[in-house]
Structures are given as structure tokens and as C-alpha cells.
Amino acid sequence: MAAPPPSAPGEPAPPPPPLQYSLLLQHLVGDKRQPRVWDPATLGGIPCPPKSEEQKMVERVMESCPFKAALACVGGFVLGGAFGIFTAGIDTNVGFDPKDPYRTPTAKEVLKDMGQRGISYAKNFAIVGAMFSCTECVVESYRGKSDWKNSVISGCITGGAIGFRAGLKAGVIGCGGFAAFSAAVDYYLR
């Protein structure tokens, strides 16, 4: 940088030139900062070829509401079945006959009860998963946004619909509880 011209005897001294790190900061975080375009090819990444029509079709199918609902239904069925078998395995009353409390249940009876509980849990989890996924997809399509509010709204709808079978109060509690749980899961995952 050039030195400032000498000032006349009655004028105030000119301000000193800015320090070099001040100029650097203006370019890094200040007003002179230029936005960067994130191009993987310039950063040493692998360039991606354009997607074929088949890839676009598969993406459309995988992002559709019916596919998401079916995936949630199958996942809920598997998870519910595993949870039901696990809870039946640690339950001391599995295979217990109330008519004859001193009789020890056979392995066949215990496995039958475990299977029944596993299927029951699997069906319930599958229904809840499909319901939640469908409502979330519909809410997301209606709002045109993908954010945490979609899961809270769909959690409230799903919990309210499930709880409403037991009455209005249970529906309201189900709505609030499922919405809060959905918000917590969405906060944790995002």
C-alpha cells in the first residue's frame, strides 16, 4: 500500500491504513465476501452423469405416498413382531393356565403364546406405521414443505385417530402424546 500523503499543518492527520487482517476478514466474513458455488467437480469430487429415465422413474416411485406407506407398514410389521416376541419371552405369565396354576406349560404352549403376541403386536405396529406414513405424506404434499411440522401434524392426526376409539379425552391425549413423540424423534433424527 502507498503511504498516505502528508497533511497540511492545520488539518487533522489522515486515518492510518487498515491492518492486513482486517482486509482479510472483510473478504472472509464481511461485506466483500463472495458466495461459493458448491460444484463437486471443482472440489475434487466424482462428477455425476445425468440420471437416466429409469433412475428418475425409480426415484418417483420411491418418493410416492403408496410406496412410503407400504414400506412403513412392512417395517412396522417386522418391528412389532420382534417386539411382541421379545415381550412374550420376558413375561412370566406366557403359557400360564389360570385353571391349573401349578401346571408347568410345555414349550409348544409357550411358543404358541409368543407367536400369537408377536402377530398381534406386528399387526398393530403395521397399522400405526402405515397410518403415520400416509398422513405425513399427505400433509407434506399439501403444505409443500418438508420440515418438522409435518411429523407433528401427522403424529397428532394418527394419535388422535387411534385414541378417539376410546373417547374424546383419549383422542386428545393420543394426539398430544403422539405429536410430542413425533417431534422428539424428528428433532433427534434431523
Give per-residue pLDDT as tens, 6-24. Answer: 556 677 777 776 567 777 7
Q: Is residue 157 part of a domain?
A: yes
Which pLDDT score is estimated for 41? 59
Same domain, 171 and 118: no
Whether pLDDT at 96 is above 80: no
Same domain, 89 and 131: yes
The answer to whether the predicted template modeling score (pTM) of the entire model surpasses 0.85 is no
Domain count, the chain: 2
Q: Is residue 137 part of a domain?
A: yes
Q: Is residue 32 part of a domain?
A: no
Per-residue confidence at 42, pLDDT binned at 50, 70, 90?
Answer: low
Same domain, 126 and 154: no
Same domain, 70 and 126: yes
Per-residue confidence at 43, pLDDT binned at 50, 70, 90?
Answer: low
Same domain, 128 and 173: no
Mean pLDDT of 65-89: 93
Same domain, 159 and 136: no
Which pLDDT score is estimated for 83? 94
Same domain, 129 and 161: no
Percent of the chain with pLDDT over 70: 85
Per-residue confidence at 3, pLDDT binned at 50, 70, 90?
Answer: low
CA dihedral for 16, 21, 22, 26, sign (positive or negative): positive
Which pLDDT score is estimated for 4? 57
Render pLDDT for 110-151 as a digit per residue (tens, 0 to 9).
Answer: 888 889 999 999 999 999 999 999 999 999 989 988 888 999
Q: Is residue 109 part of a domain?
A: yes
Domain end residue (candidates: 145, 162, 178): 145
Whether pLDDT at 69 is above 90: yes
142-178: b (≥16 Cβ within 10 Å) or e? eeeeeeeebbbbbbbbbbbbbbeeeeeeebeebbeeb
Same domain, 67 and 84: yes
Same domain, 153 and 181: yes
59 Cβ contact partners less than 8 Å away, ≥ 6 residues apart: 51
Domain that holds residue 167: 147-189
Q: Is residue 74 part of a domain?
A: yes
Mean pLDDT of 56-82: 94
Which pLDDT score is estimated for 152? 93
Q: Is residue 42 part of a domain?
A: no
Q: Is residue 183 part of a domain?
A: yes
Q: Is residue 82 part of a domain?
A: yes
pLDDT averaged over the chain? 85
Same domain, 134 and 161: no
